[in-house]
Amino acid sequence: MIEHIEPGRLGHMERAIFGDAGPRAVIVTTPNADYNVLFPTLPAGRFRHDDHRFEWTRAEFAAWCDRVAAEHGYQVRIEPLGDVDAAHGAPSQMGVFTR
């Protein structure tokens, strides 16, 4: 649930989890911002929850996952979470990092 971390602190989290702790597997989930247009009561430009610090599109999440995996020696697989809309993807997304 990475969207609850302040963007300026993501680097600290990356180093602590992927670098210092270095587990064999890490699972990261986050909303898919591309899907937000399908929520009829969610105003444009708003996050799904008041505690979200950001919400990434599928492309943004994939870029972050690829960078973190490469920097810390992981493989990553990105999976949709929920029913997939042909144009907007699934409501949420998951990165599964493994060594």
In the chain, domain spans: 2-98
**Is CATH 3.40.50.150 what the domain over 2-98 is classified as, yes or no?**
yes
Which amino acid would we find at residue 81? L
Residue 77, token pair as written in the block: 């697989």
The whole-number average pLDDT for the span 87-96 is: 96
pLDDT in tens, 10-39: 999 999 999 999 999 999 999 999 999 898
User: pTM of the predicted model, to two decimals?
Assistant: 0.92
Alpha-carbon dihedral of residues 87, 91, 41, 53, nearest 10 degrees? -120
pLDDT in tens, 43-68: 777 866 788 888 899 999 999 999 99
- Using CA atoms, how far residue 27 sits from 40, 43, 50, 87, 96, in Å, is 29, 29, 23, 25, 5
* Contact indicator for 32, 79 with CB cutoff of 8 Å: no
DSSP 77-92: EEEEESPPBTTTB-SE
